[in-house]
Chain A
Amino acid sequence: MNIRQLKFFAAGIGVLALGLMTASDAIGQLAIRGGRVITMEDGQELSNGVILIRDGRIEAVGESLNIPGEYKVIDATGQVVMPGFVDVHSSGGMGQANERNSNVPYLTVLDTIDPASTFFEECRRNGITSAAIVPGNSTMIGGQAAVLKTSGTFIPEMAQQRLIGLKLSMQPPSGSRMSHIATLRREMNKAKKAKAGEAVDKDEPASPVSAAAASEDSADETAGEGAGEAAAAAPSAEQAQQGLEVLGKLIGGELIAYVYCENAMDVGQALRLIEEFQLKPVMVLGRNCDKAAGILAEKKLPVVLDSEMVFWREDPRTREEEKIVTPKIFGDAGMSYMFQADTNPSRATLGSNYLWYQAATAVKYGLSRQDALAACTKLPATTLGIDKQVGSIAVGKDADIVILTGEPLATQTWVDKTIVLGEVVYDRTSDERLRRLLITGEKE
């Protein structure tokens, strides 16, 4: 063995040792001490809390806990410790959020999510540890939504709930609302029949294709098509069957129906469908749903506000502009609501691409801090039915924790560390991309 080989050998050992070390961190025991712990359990706060973590779960939480010697310790003195944020609705991390085919309950976001996309990196940087990834808003019956941990290299290790619900869109992709609603209702009825064991009429078109998509598809067919186009044109009998089964699970509320409403009139239609088919909805609201605040408050349905929460609306007659502030309108209606971040930020974006910023904006317009924090933790966890695992710091829950440098929602507070299942997946001190953006290093 010459020197060169020896070097390689030594390097190999080093890598192996490093690998073992990180592996032992991942499955080992961790303690977070010294910080102010906002548990999000009944408003409980510990001024000098200790959290013990074992095998990815929270083992103990308290103010004067002994930390056994084998626990690796994170000192959070002067910092704030919170449960990791839960994103209740996001279309991030996907190459394309919408399908050309308007009826695709058999497709799943799991097949299009790229774990390496900057979306998940941004999630970790901003304290989000669980995210419900939901198909886009312009597909009538969009694909299956899933809840993912925001750290991992491949989907199987990230998936927390592989199938949590389906997206239904009340917004017609083209053509009239009448036919859109009729088609949606017909598909729901088919699923209802199939669920009850009745035969589904074979003569019915298996899948309505939106007018725009249909014209594109006819061109594809003549040109000869790959597997992708074939799927877009019409599902196979097997896919249609699978789709009906999943759709059937919406009926009665076994799965969540993410119902996208573009404007207030859509909310009315959606409420009828929800009642008719006994859906368990999460109302995903477009900007112009503010007029439906009253009825939504009355029905006490979970609501996700549009990422653009403050905007100007022109009166069609007088052309006077009015400033619309949705958190204020929905807050005044006496209802709780959740936020979503803008997953397609532009050069002009100033903050709305962060979930915590949306919460701060809601506080600006009257929401209490406690409710704003709950809307990023406990409330989405409960809404998604994963509150046994995430959404607060409590014994037995997933060790999904975010350590903040200071008061939550404050201008100069940053996420210092993000922990997913007991593993530190984000550390600000080693965030090279952030360092570059802030140019804290030497001149480039």
Chain B
Amino acid sequence: MKRETFFAVARLTMAFSFAIAICTTVNARQQPAGTTRVIVAETLYTMDGPAIENGMVLVQDGKIVAVGKDLKIPAGATTTKVSVLMPGMVDAYTSAGVTGGTAEMTSEITPEMDVVHAIDWTSRDFKRASEAGITTVHVLPGSDNVFAGGSCVAKVAGEKQQRVLNGHLGSVLAVCSDPVNGNSSRSRPESIYVRQPTNRMGVVWIIRSELHKVANEGRDDTSASSVALRKILGGEPVFTVSRTGYDIETVARLNSELGFKSTIVSGEEAWKSIDLLKETGMQVIYAGMTTGSETGTERTNLHWNTPGKLQDAGIVFCLAGGQLLEQARFAVRFGLPEETALNAITTTPARMLGLSDRIGAIRAGMDADLVALDGPPLEFTTGRIWTMVDGNTLDASKQLSSVASDTETIQ
């Protein structure tokens, strides 16, 4: 074989296997453009009004085009019947797709870094999320840096260009002991391994001094870091990872002192700060559901009915951190009203991420992100049948195909 021919063949083979790889990773049933898909649900939870019995959803080009009862089905439409249909769930606190380190360890102040660059879009995290009925994820950089970087909102499937809903939603701060972990007060100050802070006081000091610096230095400092810090002071969304009651208090103090508004992320001990959260209007992305250990990260004290207590106090919160449907079920068991529980995994996180016009509910004009179930959403015995992202049914549940209702019929 001639050298050129060899390379040509090799290139062709590579291209071929690449194409196959793409086909297998995308793993979605692509809907040809222009065709309409009709999903008829015995019970349709639109999350935009009461549930509709025998409700219909018309999907075209990745969007929901009509929702209601007895809709006129266009000619050539594909009809799928399901027992229960609800919006794809929105997980507001994940590290989905971030492989390797989730924080830049050479500095504890990295507000200019965006996690979107660290996401492997073929990561299995996305498949796992879609298998749990989650269609949109809010990806946060790791909480090892005080100013951790920018967060990103993305769909769990699809072509990369359309997947990213917001490449930089806001800044992530860590007001917890995570930035302290592994840092030793005994390292020599001039050592290249030295990292601040080494305790909680240091965490607060870094936030305060850095933000004061950019506030006082004015516009002259055009370093990426300063520009990013000024955005925080300028009112961009801030997501602050805090778990203990006293850290939540610290966040409230920093917010009022420096004039920005944080959404609390994790909030494991939010039950301790109900009054404060109510007073300050801070919202909570809650990730403290468990039935196992009552001791959480940082030895927090986890209470089962924290969501119910947040709801009673009128605090805006969502459930986050994976297995959203299961979390909602346990939240209901522990005292949260059913409707709030369903909102807490769909519409509420969508609103908190500033995307309530696209995701979180089933309404004409919204993205066709849907989850089909075989029974009432909040029962432990109910299983998921399929997940749809932007009009494409993900076929990740081959394992359960015999359970799945393959009732697709061409009309």
Contact = CB atoms under 8 A, between A and B. Distances in A.
Given A323-B399, A328-B403, A437 B380 contact: no
A440 B305 contact: yes
Interface centre among A322, A409, A438 (most CB of B within 10 A): A438
Given A411-B329, A411-B380, A412-B333, A347 B293 contact: yes
Given A347-B292, A350-B327, A412-B333, A437 B303 contact: yes
A443 B274 contact: yes
Contacts of A357: 291, 380
B296 interface: yes
Contacts of B329: 411
A443 B272 CA distance: 9
Interface string B314-333: 00000000010011011011
Contacts of A349: 290-293
B289 interface: yes
Tell me what chain B mostly uses at the interface: helix, strand, loop, or mixed: loop
A410 B292 CA distance: 19
B291 to A, nearest CB: 6
A437 B127 CA distance: 33
Contact of A437 (B296, B305, B383): B305
B124 A365 contact: no
Interface residues of B, number: 44
B356 to A, nearest CB: 27
Nearest to B297: A347
A109 B405 CA distance: 47
Contact of B323 (A312, A347, A350, A440): A350
Contacts of A276: none
Contacts of B323: 350
Interface string A126-149: 000000000000000000000000
Contact of A354 (B24, B291, B326): B291
A351 interface: yes
Nearest to B294: A437
Nearest to B290: A347
A60 interface: no
A438 B381 CA distance: 23
Contacts of B399: 322-325, 328
Given A323-B131, A364-B383, A346 B292 contact: yes
A353 interface: yes
B332 A321 contact: no
A411 B332 contact: yes
B295 interface: yes
Nearest to B335: A438
A346 B305 contact: no
B20 to A, nearest CB: 11
Interface string B349-383: 00000000000000000000000000000111111
A350 B289 CA distance: 8
A437 B306 CA distance: 9
Interface in A419-444: 436-440, 443
A437 B334 CA distance: 9
B293 A366 contact: no
B332 A412 contact: yes
B124 A332 contact: no
Contact of A351 (B274, B297, B326, B334): B326
Given A351-B330, A357-B291, 10 more contacts: A348-B290, A350-B323, A354-B291, A361-B380, A363-B380, A364-B381, A411-B378, A412-B333, A437-B334, A439-B271
Interface of A: 312, 320-325, 328, 332, 342, 345-351, 353-354, 357, 360-361, 363-366, 369, 409-412, 436-440, 443
Q: Which are the 6 A-B pairs with shortest beta-carbon distances?
A: A345-B292, A349-B292, A360-B380, A363-B381, A438-B305, A437-B304
18 contacts: A321-B127, A323-B397, A345-B293, A347-B290, A347-B293, A347-B295, A350-B290, A350-B326, A351-B380, A354-B291, A361-B380, A363-B380, A365-B403, A411-B329, A412-B332, A412-B333, A436-B303, A440-B335
